[in-house]
């Protein structure tokens, strides 16, 4: 039974405030306790009384609601990763592959959710770990992709790839996109990768960025694989970007390890749309 909802939104999105106010009013009329993040943008608003500390915001809710585009959804998914809480996305972005409900229609479907009439799909989450001199420096979960790239360098970098302890390939190029099935419609799609149905797939997609070899093509491997990418170029200040939002500085000779995470995400699905209908709508297919 849903008793408390945490609402996340972009911390600088002034235009989402009227929608947020309407959403809070809707939830409170349905006797749902509301938690908001302690963002500066809502200071001075009447609903700032609902702001709670981070730990309570993350762990104290039965339902997570996102207002925004897919970027806000990705940030929210990483924040609540592993909690098992269902996430309901209200789209205020452009494409909205993840935020499936429009600001106009959300009250109808959210009311069904509050009554327990909803379905979720589990989305695969991967974890990227940075190793330097044989030690793990940091690790982070991602729902879309992790991108290893040359940053501001005009010269390409050289990468060595290993799968399950076996050398796979080496190539020179601008970098590498490691994508989940959910992220196959993001940067990987722009780099020439395939669209992968995300609901059941336990695979990851490797998409070279501008490789200096026509033979290097996108590759799909099981998510359970032990995948490693080593930077053979002796450069400094390269970048590892997580879901297009978190940036980690890396150096030549560093090693990137990708592993499947046990912290999956539960996404509330639109009852009248399937994944292919969303693809058709968002990509403008006839």
Give catalytic residue positions. 70
* HEC sequence for the chain: CCCEEEEEECCCCHHHHHHHHHHHHHHHHCCCEEEECCCHHHCCCHHHHHECCHHHHHHCCCEEEEEECHHHHHHHHHHCCCCCCEEEEEECCCCCCCCCECCCCHHHHHHHHHCCCCCEEEECCEEEEEEECCEEEEEEEECCEEEEECCCCCCCEEEEEEECCEEEEEEEECEEEEECCHHHHCHHHHCCCCCCCCCCCCEEEEEEECCCCCCCCCEEEECCCCEEEEECCCCCCEEEEECCCEEEEECCCCEEEEEECCCCEEEECCCCCCHHHHHHHHHCCC
């Amino acid at each position: 039974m849903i008793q408390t909802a945490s609402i996340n939104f972009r911390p600088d999105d002034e235009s989402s405030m009227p929608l947020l106010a309407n959403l809070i009013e809707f939830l409170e009329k349905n006797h749902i306790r509301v938690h908001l993040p302690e963002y500066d943008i809502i200071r001075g608003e009447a609903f700032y009384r609902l702001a709670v500390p981070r730990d309570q915001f993350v762990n104290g809710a039965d339902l997570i609601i996102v207002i925004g585009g897919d970027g806000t959804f990705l940030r929210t998914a990483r924040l609540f990763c592993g909690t098992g809480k269902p996430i309901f996305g209200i789209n205020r972005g452009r494409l909205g592959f993840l935020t499936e409900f429009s600001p106009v229609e959300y009250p109808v479907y959210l009311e069904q959710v509050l009554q327990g009439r909803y379905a979720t799909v589990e989305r695969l989450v991967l974890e990227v770990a940075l190793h330097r001199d044989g030690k793990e420096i940091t690790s982070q979960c991602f729902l879309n992709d992790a991108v290893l790239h040359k940053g501001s360098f005009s010269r390409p970098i050289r990468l060595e790839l290993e799968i399950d302890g076996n050398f796979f390939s080496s190539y020179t190029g601008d970098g590498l996109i490691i994508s989940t099935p959910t992220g196959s419609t993001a940067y990987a799609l722009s780099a020439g990768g395939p669209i992968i149905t995300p609901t059941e797939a336990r695979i990851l997609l490797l998409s070279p960025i501008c490789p200096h070899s026509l033979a290097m093509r996108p590759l799909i491997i099981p998510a359970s694989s032990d995948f490693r990418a080593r930077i053979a170029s002796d450069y400094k200040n390269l970048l590892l970007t997580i879901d297009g939002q978190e940036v980690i500085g890396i150096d030549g000779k560093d090693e990137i390890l990708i592993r499947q995470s046990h912290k999956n995400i539960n996404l509330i699905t639109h009852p009248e749309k399937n994944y292919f209908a969303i693809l058709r709508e968002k990509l403008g297919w006839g």
